[in-house]
Structures are given as structure tokens and as C-alpha cells.
Chain A
Amino acid sequence: MTGQQPAILLEHISRHYSMGETSVRAVDDVSLSVPPGEFLALLGSSGSGKSTLLNLVAGLDRPTSGAIFANGQNLATFSSFELARYRRDTIGMIFQSFNLLPRMTLEENVELPLRLAEVHRGERASRVRVALERVRLAHRVGHRPTELSGGEQQRVAIARALVNRPQILLADEPTGNLDSATGEAILTLLRDLREQMAMTVVMVTHERPLAERFADRLATMGDGKLLGVAASAKGALP
């Protein structure tokens, strides 16, 4: 983590929305550096701006002011097409509501990013199988998302996020829809995968105890501002 180019670097990021006459500062002057391989938890109550910040890092949204660097590249210089390529090739995303396409089988859901990346057909099947094996769902390839439990669905979403081998995994409340045991299992999986695949993970959550146990550092947000960054209980351990 020392002297290395940060995986994510935020410099005075602001994102304002205008709602009628008033301007809402969803993210207000946030600066933050995430070194490669770190597991960062973004904590905060709802409406604190943590999800907006995550979307900015994901390239789904652009900041009103400030600069975002991912692996040293300024996202502001990207065209919308390049931003799409960045999402496809550099970023993996998982969501609270899983966002699997219900009429596709697990295999097809996981294959979707490979289709977008125009990966050769012959290679896709093996990559999908490897991704599903990583989340231990290889035996259910032909099933549809609705036939799975919440935890299983989130594992499929993780497999889909990983299939293009991203450097950065962004998780938006990944345990929000899961019971605590399942949530814990998902975070354990994320932590293991991060190590196996040498990814940087940024997770938005409001469950501080879980974040304390799995993340390296905790960044706390309130009213769009970054209130503080601290090493987690686990991170404080040697």
C-alpha cells in the first residue's frame, strides 16, 4: 500500500442534484484514496451519499466537480463509450437486489458480461463454469434466479461481476436483503475472492459490525460528506 498508485483516487468529488429550485448535495467534497487490494467499507445512514459515491466510482454517473482516478486514469476524460468499456472491463458490481435477469438461467446471467465484451463463444462456457465454481453454484447452471434462495442469487451476481476479471469490485449493500448468517457467508466469499483474484473491493453498507469484521478500512459518510476513515477492528489487528 505504500508508494503504490491507488486503485481509486477521489479528489474533491461533489455531486449535486437540482430538485426544482433547491440543489441537493448528494456528495459534497469527498477526497479518498483506496490502495489496490484493499477491502473498503463505506458506512452511513440512508441518504448519506454513499451509494451516489459508489455510482460515481462505477462510472454510472459523473461528478459535478472533482476528479476520479481509477488505476491512474481520470474518468472525466472518458467519453460515454469509454466509460461503458471501463465498467465492462475494470469494474464488477453487485447490488442489494441482486439485479439478475429473471428469465435467464444462471449460466446466461453470468454469460451476459462476456457477451458484452465480445468474448469468443468457445471460451465463454468455461469462464462461466469457473465463475460459478468460485461461488459454488456450478451444479445449478440451468436454473433460473427465482428458483434460488437470496444468498444463492447474490452468489450468482458475484459470479457475474467476476466473470470479466475486474480489478475493482463495487458492492452496494450486498447483504441488505439477506439474513445475517447468509450475509456473513457472502462477505466471507467476497473476502476470499478478493484475495484469490487480487481485487480492490468497495462495499457500501450500513451494518457496521459486519464491516468491522470483513473490511480493512471503514469510511463513514453523513450528509454527503466524508466524516472519517478508520482502520477496522480486523484491520487494526496485526
Chain B
Amino acid sequence: MKPRDLTDLALRNLREAILRNVLTTLGVAVGVASLVAMLSLGVGLQQLASKRLSQSGLFDTIFVTPKNTFRGMGRPQREVESDKPPRPLDEDARKEFEKLPNVIEVYPQVRFFTEVRFNKKPYATVVAGLPDSSRNSGAFDGMQGRFFSSPSADEAILQIEFAKDLSEKPASLLGQEVTLRYAERQAIPSAGGDSSNSASSEAPEGFSVVPKELKLKIIGVVETEPAAGYGGYGNARLLMPLQTASTLRAAQVNDLRDIVRGSTGTKLTFPSLSVRASSPSKVEALEASIKAMGFNAFSLLDASKSLRTFFSVFDLLLGIFGSLALAVATLGIVNTLVMAILERRREIGVLKALGAADRDVQQLFFVEAGVMGLLGGILGVLFGWALGRAITFGTNAYLKRQALNPIELSSVPWWLIVAGIIFAVLVSLAAGLYPASRAARLNPVDALRYE
């Protein structure tokens, strides 16, 4: 029979036992729905995690340091003089990085240990400059107050523990001023403050400290610092706009190297630069090209790879649980079609008497199974999507009660829609194998005698 006639007859047969076939199709739909809902949760959680992680800057950021100072996660080390002077990590290098493909931004790490005065009391803390792009980081989603009004504002965001040190009511700090005391790098600057990691003990003699002060307005309080990175002195407790922090020319550890090299004051160099890639997948190539330019580069790519492995296994497990319902639905299809054979014995006999080959009968049952699979698949994807939405809605209602930010828990990407439908059809066809071959083997003489 031609495909169109086959489909015609199959649809007609399906309509004849409409209730049973609808129930069977719904069974398939529920199976597919559970599979799609499970996988959409898996995908959603994965997206959520990787979104958070990419916002954290850990997986799409490459940390670049000058070649001969990079030892052990960018911590300042003893100067190592080499024959050929290493390329300085300066503004020129920064511009070159910015021109590389797939680079979103390049920013220096400004991070120094210093003293903050509030209500005439001194507090020692690490200060970090935040690039404007961290505005979109998830870390600021639930903050008190607001983000910096401009990239060069004299404003500060406090880490919550630090804020608690300053006042018992962190919220009351908003709008107040803190005084940042720091050592400005001048002709022969030194690392200011009393950083334990400072290389001051090894520095040449003749350091002069030029103390400076800057008043910062407290505009926000945040749980944790985003993109803490892996250099520096641990989490910063006072955050300020990167540009503001840079213009301070606060003495940083790399200045020591400049002194040793005698290039002090001529050119500003960075202890390290963070290069952000457009996506974690671009990090590897970018890292290689930065290395080729003569710098040390480091990223947490391997960590993101193992994260992906984890989620593949997680998805697989969810998929297996989701498939259980579909397996039950498969039995439903087998049952329905076997029942249909019993009911349509005579009809099969008539078809064979009229000249239908075994193959024609087999295909007819096959198409019926396939149609139930297709409809069940489409319905199932819809149900699954709705289920995912419902779970997300319920979760967000709960999160809202806990005063937390809503999240997108489930995600149904297009491949899941297509795969869900194709899977349903394939499973249904597999379920139709036995009934179809049984129908095809039916002896027409027996079938016609059957009353």
C-alpha cells in the first residue's frame, strides 16, 4: 500500500477505538512528559549552575600575569631576573588582549590591603576594585542598596561581615561615609599597609610612603564578593569601582618589581589582568594565544570540564528515571494493539482475502503505533514543559516566601522537544513490533471463520 493510504487506514482504525487509543496515547504522553520534565530540570539546573559560575567569572576568565612573576596562583614572589627582560603587563598588553577574538573585557586586578576608618575607628581590610561588568553578576541580585552609580563613582559596597563589624545594623550604613586610607605610589613607592604577603622585607631601602585618604559613600551591602578570583589576599571586604580604585595608584605588590627593574614611574604595570572570554568554550584557545604572546595565563577550564561531566551523568540518571514511565506506556501500546488484533481479526482476514500481503498488515499496525507515539510525544512534550513550569513556579513561590530571588529551574531547549518526540515515536514503533508481526502472521482462513 502507498504511505498515504496506509496512514489513512491507520488513522481510521485509531478513530474506531477512540477511547482506548486516546488513553494509550495519553499513557505515552505521560511517559514522555515525565522524561521531558526530568531532563528539563536537569538542563535547567545545569544552565543555572553554569550561569552562576560564568557570572562568578571563574570559568570564562583567564588570569594573566607577567611571565617571571607567576608562581603559585599569582601570589607575589621573589624577583627572578632573567637574561631577556619579560614583557611587561602594561597598558599596551592590555590593549592587545582586548583585540583578541572572543574577548569581552580585560581588566586589572586592583586589590590591596589597607585601613578603613569609620566613626574614627580603624579597620584593616582588603579593598578590591570591581569591573563594571560585575553589575550583571548574580552576586548582586539580592544585595541591599544598589550597585555603583558609575564606573568612577566614589562609592563603596561592603561585604556583609565587614558591614556587621562596622555597625550592628548593616542596613543603617547605607548613605554613610567611610574613609579609605592608602599609600599612593609616587616616585619610589612601597607596598602600603601591613600585608603579610607584601614583599617589603625584600625591597631595597629608601621607601617613602605617601599616605592618602579618600572618602567613599556606602551604597550597598552584599553577601559575598563576586569573582574573588584566585590571586590576592582572599575575599575583599570593601568593594569599589575598578576605575576609581585604579586612579588611586595605590601601592601594590608588583610595584616592587618595577623598582627592581628601575622602570618606576615611567609606565604603570599590572600585577595581573583578567581577560573575560565570551563563553567558557572560548577560554582554551584564548589562553593559548595569550601564552603565545609571552605571558602566563591560567584558567579554571578543567574544573568546568568536570562540572560538565557531572551534569551529563546527572542528566543520564534523570533520563533513566523519566524513561520508566515511558516503559510502562510502551506496555500500554503493546496491550492496545494486541487487543486490536483480537478485535479486528475478521477485518485482517478480509484484507488478506482482498490481496493484502503480510507486509501490508504489518505496516498498518506499525503506522498505528507510530501515530500514537507521535501524538503522545507531542502531547508529552507539552505536558512536560507545563510540568517544568509548574515546578519552577512552585519553587519560586517558596523562594519568594524565603525572601530569595526567583530562579529558572527548568529549561526545555529545542533539542529536548525534538528528541522527546522522536524518542516517543521510536519507542512506540518498537512496542508495535510484536503486535504487527502477530497480526501479519494471522491465518486468513481462521480469521474469516471467526465469528
Given contacts A80-B358, A115-B5, 19 further A-B contacts (CB under 8 A): A58-B353, A60-B444, A60-B445, A81-B357, A84-B355, A84-B358, A85-B355, A87-B355, A88-B354, A88-B355, A88-B356, A93-B353, A99-B350, A101-B347, A116-B354, A116-B356, A118-B1, A118-B5, A160-B354
B16 adjacent to chain A (CB < 8 Å): yes
Residue of A84, A99, A118 with highest tally of chain B CB at under 10 A? A84
- Please provide the chain A residues from 75 to 106 with a CB less than 8 Å away from any CB of chain B in the complex: 80-81, 84-85, 87-89, 91, 93, 95, 99, 101, 103-104
B445 touches A84 (CB 8 A): no
A14 adjacent to chain B (CB < 8 Å): no
Expressed in whole angstroms, the minimum distance between the Cβ of B253 and any Cβ of chain A is: 85
User: What are 18 A-B interface contacts by the 8 Å CB criterion?
Assistant: A61-B444, A81-B357, A84-B352, A84-B360, A85-B357, A87-B353, A89-B355, A95-B448, A99-B353, A99-B448, A113-B355, A115-B1, A116-B360, A117-B355, A118-B2, A118-B5, A160-B354, A164-B355
B375 adjacent to chain A (CB < 8 Å): no
B448 touches A116 (CB 8 A): no
B308 adjacent to chain A (CB < 8 Å): no
B249 adjacent to chain A (CB < 8 Å): no
Question: What chain A residues lie within 8 Å of B5 (beta carbons)?
Answer: 115, 118
B359 adjacent to chain A (CB < 8 Å): yes
The majority secondary structure among interface residues of chain B is helix
Question: What chain A residues lie within 8 Å of B443 (beta carbons)?
Answer: 61
A residues contacting the other copy or chain, number (CB 8 A): 26
- Please provide the chain A residues from 141 to 185 with a CB less than 8 Å away from any CB of chain B in the complex: 160, 164
CA distance A34 to B443 in the complex (A): 27
Residue of A81, A101, A117 with highest tally of chain B CB at under 10 A? A101
B353 touches A60 (CB 8 A): yes
B1 touches A116 (CB 8 A): yes
A55 adjacent to chain B (CB < 8 Å): yes
Q: A-facing mask of B347-379, CB < 8 A → 1, else 0?
A: 101111111111110000000000000000000
Expressed in whole angstroms, the minimum distance between the Cβ of B441 and any Cβ of chain A is: 10
A80 touches B357 (CB 8 A): yes
A61 touches B357 (CB 8 A): no
A113 touches B444 (CB 8 A): no
B352 touches A101 (CB 8 A): no
CA distance A55 to B449 in the complex (A): 11
Given A60-B444, A80-B357, does the pair A112, B351 have CB atoms closer than 8 Å? yes
Given A58-B353, A60-B353, A99-B346, does the pair A81, B359 have CB atoms closer than 8 Å? yes
Question: What chain A residues lie within 8 Å of B300 (beta carbons)?
Answer: none
Question: What residues of chain B have their CB less than 8 Å away from a CB belonging to chain A?
Answer: 1-2, 5, 9, 12, 16, 346-347, 349-360, 443-445, 448
Question: What residues of chain A have their CB less than 8 Å away from a CB belonging to chain B?
Answer: 55, 58, 60-61, 80-81, 84-85, 87-89, 91, 93, 95, 99, 101, 103-104, 112-113, 115-118, 160, 164
Question: What chain A residues lie within 8 Å of B351 (beta carbons)?
Answer: 112, 116
* Chain B, residue nearest A92 (CB): B354
B354 touches A61 (CB 8 A): no
B9 touches A103 (CB 8 A): no
Question: What chain B residues lie within 8 Å of A117 (beta carbons)?
Answer: 355
CA distance A115 to B443 in the complex (A): 21
Q: Which of B16, B352, B353 contacts A103 (CB 8 A)?
A: B16
CA distance A204 to B357 in the complex (A): 25
A81 touches B445 (CB 8 A): no
A87 touches B352 (CB 8 A): yes
Question: What chain A residues lie within 8 Å of B357 (beta carbons)?
Answer: 80-81, 84-85
Question: What chain A residues lie within 8 Å of B358 (beta carbons)?
Answer: 80-81, 84
CA distance A112 to B356 in the complex (A): 10
CA distance A103 to B356 in the complex (A): 19
CA distance A112 to B1 in the complex (A): 10
Question: What chain A residues lie within 8 Å of B445 (beta carbons)?
Answer: 55, 60-61
Q: Which 9 A-B pairs have the closest CB atoms?
A: A88-B355, A84-B357, A115-B5, A87-B355, A60-B444, A99-B350, A113-B354, A116-B355, A61-B445
* Chain B, residue nearest A83 (CB): B357
CA distance A225 to B1 in the complex (A): 39
CA distance A87 to B356 in the complex (A): 8
Question: What chain B residues lie within 8 Å of A113 (beta carbons)?
Answer: 354-355
CA distance A103 to B351 in the complex (A): 14
Question: What chain B residues lie within 8 Å of A81 (beta carbons)?
Answer: 357-359
Expressed in whole angstroms, the minimum distance between the Cβ of B183 and any Cβ of chain A is: 92
Residue of B16, B357, B360 with highest tally of chain A CB at under 10 A? B357
